[in-house]
Amino acid sequence: MTDRQYIIGEFSPASDDDLIICRCEEITKGEIRRAVFDGMFNICEVRRLLRCGMGLCQGLTCGRLVKSVIAGEIGLSATALEDATARAPMRPTEMFIFAKEVTDE
């Protein structure tokens, strides 16, 4: 979903907007919904704006939930949306550890 002109109607508040979706960064359903109405139709854009999925757990917990909130607002099934990009490191790793990379094996 990259067509930013796609019209999904007016944002209207919902009773569960205060629900926390991303537990690490404490991003609510309302914030994610608002981002979708602002034209961000995929996980990568939403996470760059809100940081959902970029906390300590790296989206291992909320990835699917964020996806389903976005899909729900656009009116798509969650499987139709791309997952967030998967890239190293897959587990949180401090920078000093990378600095000590063993390369001569």
Partner 1 sequence: MRIINHPILGEAAPRKNITFNFNGEEMTGFSGEPIAAALRANNIIIHRYTRKFHSPRGVFCAIGRCTDCVMIVNGRPNVRTCVTALEEGMTVTTQYGAGGGA
Partner 2 sequence: MSFDLMVIGAGPAGLSAAAEAASHGLKVAVFDENALPGGQLFKQIHKFFGSKEHKAKMRGIDIGIELLEETDSLGVKVFLNSPVVGLYKNREIVVRQKETVRHFKADSIIVATGASENLLPFDGWTLPGVMGAGAAQTMMNINRVKPGNRVLMLGSGNVGLVVGFQLLQAGCELVAIADAAPRIGGYGVHASKLTRTGVPFYLSHTIMRAEGRENVTGVVIGQVDENWQHIPDTEKHFEVDTICLAVGLSPSAQLLKMAGCKMSQNGTPVCDKSGETSLYNIFAAGDVSGIEEASSAMIEGRISAAAAAKKLGFISEKSFQKRSGELDAALSELRQGMFAPQNRNAPLEKTDEGFNISKSLLKKGYITEEEISEYPGFKPGAGIRPVIECTQNIPCDPCRDICPKGCIKVENIVSLPVYDENTNCTGCGLCVAACPGQAIFLTDDRPGKVEEGKVAITIPYEFLPLPEKVGPGMAYDRSGAPLCPAYVSKIQESAFLGKTPLVTFVVPKNMAMRARFWKAV
Which chain residues interact with partner 2 by CB under 8 A? 16, 19-21, 23, 29, 60-62, 64-65, 79-80, 83, 86-91, 93, 96-98, 100-103, 105
Which listed option, partner 1, partner 2, none, makes contact with residue 56 (CB within 5 to 8 Å by class)?
partner 1
Which residues are at the interface with partner 1 (CB under 8 A)?
20, 23-26, 55-57, 60-61, 92
Local structure of 22: helix, strand or coil: strand
User: CA-to-CA distance for 49 and 32, rounded, in angstroms?
Assistant: 9
Least separation in angstroms between CB 14 and partner 2: 13
Cα–Cα distances (Å) from 8 to 42, 70, 75, 94, 101, in that order, read 14, 12, 8, 41, 48
